[in-house]
């Protein structure tokens, strides 16, 4: 009998801990609604694109003569992380070695990416960071297979267009070199490509 009373007492304690009696009826306390925790989205993305790289420099044969120009084509790989709608980080690698006259351009950089969503589908952005640019010169005419390498500040800007939640297009401009090296080389690129967001 003693063990039965103990069990009854424990059962009553459990019932009272779950509710209370009012007017002879068991009333359970109201439970607060469960509020979901919203974690801000921080999407990662990659992109593959087409590059046009413009280069101008003094002619080594006649530095006092007109500047010579070259336009080279190639590809770009970019990967980034949008911390929020207004700021992100991006790394990019550029290889422009097609249809060359006398130069090949490669570039690798890390950029802070301030951005502004103009509409639900159009995003404007800027690029500001550091990079390494290398221009290889072919051994034609008065060129002697020289190479120009510059590390330092690089900047640019562009726009992205969202086709779906995952897929989009972009177009942008990036400044690489300004009056660098013995022959005052200048270089800028334009890119166009497809972006995929995870």
Q: Which two tokens stand for residue 136?
A: 């290889």
Extents of the domains making up the chain: 44-197
With a cut of 60, say whether residue 156 has pLDDT above it: yes
SS (H, E, C) the chain: CHHHHHHHHHHHHHHHHHCEEECCEEECCCCCCCCCCCCCCCCEEEEEEEEEEEEEECCCCCCCCCCEEEEEEEEEEEEEEECCCCEEEEEEEEEEEECCCCEEEEEEEEEEEEEEECCCCEEEEEEEEEEEEEEEECCCCCCCCCEEEEEEEEEEEEEEEECCCCEEEEEEEEEEEEEECCCCEEEEEEEEEEEEEC
Phi, psi of 154 (to 5 degrees): -140, 150
Q: Which two tokens stand for residue 53?
A: 């790289």
- Write out pLDDT tens, residues 116-144: 999 999 999 999 999 999 999 875 555 55
Least confident of 9-13, 125-129, 147-151: 9-13
Q: Is the pTM of this model over 0.85?
A: no
**Of the candidate ranges 4-18, 116-130, 144-158, 167-181, the one whose mean pLDDT is the lowest:** 4-18
> How far is 154 from 190, CA to CA, in rounded Å?
14
How far, in Å, CA of 69 to CA of 51, rounded?
Answer: 17
91 has pLDDT over 50: yes
User: What would you measure as the largest C-alpha separation in the chain, in angstroms?
Assistant: 115
What is residue 31's predicted lDDT score, i.e. its pLDDT?
53
Tell me which CATH code domain 44-197 carries: 2.40.160.20
Q: Quote the pLDDT of residue 71.
A: 94
What is the structure's pLDDT at 178? Answer: 92
CB neighbours of residue 136 within 10 Å: 16
Q: What's the pLDDT score for residue 61?
A: 73
Q: Do residues 192 and 170 touch, judged by C-beta distance below 8 A?
A: yes
Token look-up 């800007």 returns: 157
């Amino acid at each position: 009998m003693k063990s039965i009373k103990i069990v009854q007492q424990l059962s009553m304690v459990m019932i009272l801990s779950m509710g209370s009696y009012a007017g002879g009826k068991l009333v359970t306390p109201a439970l607060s609604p469960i509020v979901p925790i919203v974690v801000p989205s921080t999407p990662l993305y990659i992109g593959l694109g087409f590059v046009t790289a413009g280069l101008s420099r003094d002619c080594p044969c006649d530095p006092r003569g007109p500047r010579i120009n070259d336009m080279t084509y190639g590809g770009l790989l970019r990967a980034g992380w949008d911390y929020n709608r207004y700021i992100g980080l991006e790394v990019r690698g550029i290889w422009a070695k097609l249809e060359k006259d006398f130069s090949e351009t490669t570039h690798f950089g890390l950029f802070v990416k301030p951005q502004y969503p103009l509409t639900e589908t159009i995003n404007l952005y800027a690029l500001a960071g550091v990079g390494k640019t290398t221009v290889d010169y072919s051994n034609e005419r008065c060129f002697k297979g020289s190479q120009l390498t510059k590390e330092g500040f690089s900047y640019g800007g562009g726009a992205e267009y969202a086709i779906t939640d995952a897929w989009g297009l972009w177009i942008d401009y990036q400044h690489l070199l300004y009056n660098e090296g013995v022959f005052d080389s200048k270089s800028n690129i334009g890119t166009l490509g497809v972006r995929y967001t995870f």
